[in-house]
Amino acid sequence: MRAPGVSSCMKLSALLALFLVIGLGSLCGQSVNEPIDFGKAKRLHQRRQQGETLTAEEQAYLQRALAARAGRSGARPANQRKAPERLPPLCDMTAADRYEGEDGGLYGAGQNTPPDAHRKAALAQLSRIRPLNAAGQPDDKGTIGFVAISMSNATQEFSKFKQVADQSPRKSPKVTIVDCAQGGQAMAEWAPPDARPWAEAKRRLEAARVSPQQVQVAWIKLANKTPGGSLQEHGRKLERDTLAVLHNARALFPNLRIAYLGSRTYGGYGGALNPEPYAYESAYAARWLIQRQIKGDPELSESKSPLLLWGPYLWAEGTKGRKLDKLVWERSDFGGDGIHPSDSGRMKVANLLLDFLTTDPLAKPWFAKP
């Protein structure tokens, strides 16, 4: 005799299997063939701008919409220059090389390390970085807060870095990494002291149980949306906006000692949001600020700004790479819009950050595990 309920269970299982197949087919068709609802994409974009983390499916939908929009309106604004045939990585250029009148080297004069006086100033600040309690007082049971300040690419890269670093035996357990970078919030959006990104940054710090007084180090990736004009035009605006960000950060984080600056990754695969040569040229704004501080500019004094250093230099000329190392940027390192990083692109930046922070003599003392 058949056990009671077996037939019903078999029918129910078959029905569930049928629904599963239909559901999966519907999802697959939706991701590939369904017309894009740009209203939905706009709402997803707004949620991401407000600092909300999208699901993998939502992120994929938004990337598909951005890629479609880029393809539909591929023309660049009239004020955006075309990139020259070759762009020389700043780290590969010598003191004699020139790009738009600028010499080579991250710190200028063909040098990729800071001049001695600035190096000593950095060592003095490094000696002051230590675990602090919530009130900002030295405490072995406290923490060293490390934040990122920037836009969508940076939050995607820094969140991946946090995952990798928090699992790495090379990172000091005294360091707490907090991703304060936010989608859609470039330097211009962070420039006003009462701007929305700062409120969201404070919320994220509170969620991580890190007080503003415990934040001592920042990674700031310089970028603005849809730059145009000459290097002097868009670069100086980016410089001004970033100077305001540095002032704001120093005011909010009274124990902020060092800010590692970074420029964009390669921009030759995307549209008008930040194409070449603008992605490449963002490095000059970072260098100008560092050079101003080296020369003693009062706007970058210790009372107004953290000490500025280069973090890892992220730009390489696509698949042509650079001489400094083997870094290249493949098309597959970017999502559908050619601008935001794919999983492989995020991992590249995460590894560059981790390697820098655990090996560079002006970062290792506070970040690396003793």
Q: State pLDDT tens for residues 130-171.
A: 999 999 999 999 999 999 999 999 999 999 999 999 999 999
For 94, 311, 325, the CA distances from 88, given in Å and listed in that order, are 10, 19, 14
Q: Where are any strands of DSSP class E within the chain?
A: 144-149, 175-179, 215-221, 258-262, 307-310
pLDDT at 34: 67
Q: State the residue for tokens 């762009």.
A: 87
Residue whose structure tokens are 């800010």: 259
User: Is 68's pLDDT higher than 80?
Assistant: no
Q: What is the overall mean pLDDT for the chain?
A: 89
Q: What value does the mean pLDDT take over residues 305-324?
A: 98
- Ordered by where they begin, the domains of the chain are 90-223+231-365 (3.40.50.1110)
At how many degrees (to 10) do helices 152-166 and 343-359 cross?
Answer: 60
Q: Give 15's pLDDT tier (boundaries 50, 70, 90).
A: very low
Asked if the model's pLDDT at residue 239 lies above 70, the reply is: yes
Report the run of H or E that residue 289 belongs to, with start and end.
helix 278-294
Q: Report DSSP letters for 142-160, one per residue.
A: SBEEEEEES-HHHHHHHHH
What are the angstrom distances between the C-alpha of 79 and each of 229, 231, 234?
5, 12, 11
pLDDT, one tens digit per residue, over 329-344 is 999 999 999 999 999 9
Contact 328, 319 (CB under 8 A): yes
Taken in order 163, 164, 165, 170, the sign of the CA dihedral is: positive
The yes-or-no verdict on residue 19 having pLDDT over 60 is: no
Model confidence at 99: pLDDT above 90: yes
Its pTM stands at 0.83
Task: Tally the C-alpha atoms within 13 A of residue 213's C-alpha that lie toward its C-beta.
Answer: 9
Please report, in angstroms and rounded to a whole number, the separation of the first and last CA atoms in the chain: 71
39 or 60, which is more confident: 39
